[in-house]
Amino acid sequence: MDVAVETTNLTRHFGTFCAVDQLNLRIESGHFYGFLGPNGAGKSTTIKMLTGLLGPSSGIVRILGEDVSDPQRALAVKRRIGVVPENLALFDNLTAREYLTFIGRMYLLPPATVRERCEQLLAVMDLLKDEKKLTLEFSHGMKKKLALAAALIPDPELLFLDEPFEGVDAVASRALRDMLKRCVERGATVFLTSHVLEIVERLCTDVGIISGGKLVHQGTMEELRRDGSLEDKFIKVVGNDQVPAQTLSWLEG
């Protein structure tokens, strides 16, 4: 089976702080991969390095079989992926439709396709009624939905989604989940980070857990379920199950 994402000893330092330490990931094509970790574990740093938003300090990144350290190959890879980055990538002074049109044209989609997909995505994301608004007037949830639509418009082989459901309402979230499932069924790969373990448990076929910049668990969801729930496993591997509840005893009355 083809490998969609592969990293070898991927490391990123910020000064003396090591955000990602010797990370070795291997995600096969057609899988729905959930990348979990507590706050500050290195999830977003990893996703930034995988998508070219941040250079690694050392290590190798291969996306869809291509080494992205080569600038030309990196561009070729970008044609095949869609990304929802942590801090989004919207232009303040464009409307949702204009932004999607811009993204569609950057992926060299035919004008008719751009128009058709814009219409459908805006409808699914419930953004049609806010078409006159500039993105700077959007709420956080609306911005997230637009970023998701932009990631989907080129119909990518590989999707990187950093906290895609954060701030998204239940209706759009449901539609999005169904859409992502269909993408995976068609052979696309999804790399997703989320704090909502239930979503990961419901959607993902594979899970990786990062803590303190190191990959502390990687496996299929089935393997994980054998040992209990995802939440139990998560708390166990990140090592926060020993928080002494009695330290807040004053709350008990």
Task: Transcribe 30-75 into DSSP letters.
Answer: T-EEEEE--TTSSHHHHHHHHHTSS--SEEEEEETTEETTSHHHHH
- Within residues 143-202, the interface with another protein by CB under 8 A covers 150
* Min dist. Cβ of residue 228 to another protein (A): 36
* Size of residue set near another protein by CB under 8 A: 51
Choice between 108 and 243, CB closer to another protein: 108
112 Cβ contact list (under 8 Å, min separation 6) = none
Stretch that binds another protein, among 1-9, 24-32, 109-117, 179-187 (CB under 8 A): 109-117
Q: Which stretch binds another protein (CB under 8 A): 57-65, 91-99, 172-180, 243-251?
A: 91-99
> CB 218 → another protein: shortest distance, Å?
26
**One of 93, 120, 229, 240 touching another protein (CB under 8 A):** 93
State the nearest-atom distance from the C-beta of 179 to another protein, in Å.
Answer: 20
Q: Which is nearer to another protein, 131 or 185 (CB)?
A: 131
Q: Is 229 in the site for another protein (CB under 8 A)?
A: no
R_g of the chain computed on alpha carbons:
19
Window contacting another protein (CB under 8 A); options: 92-100, 172-180, 201-209, 216-224:
92-100
Choose among 97, 103, 104: nearest CA to 133.
97
- 130 within 8 A of 107, measured Cβ to Cβ: no
Pairing of strands 32-36, 206-211: parallel
Dihedral over alpha carbons 19, 13, 86, 3 (to 10 degrees): -80
Residue 81 · residue 63 · CB < 8 Å: yes
* Binding residues for another protein (CB under 8 A): 51-55, 71, 74-76, 78-79, 83, 85-95, 97-99, 101-103, 105-108, 111, 114-115, 128-134, 136-142, 150
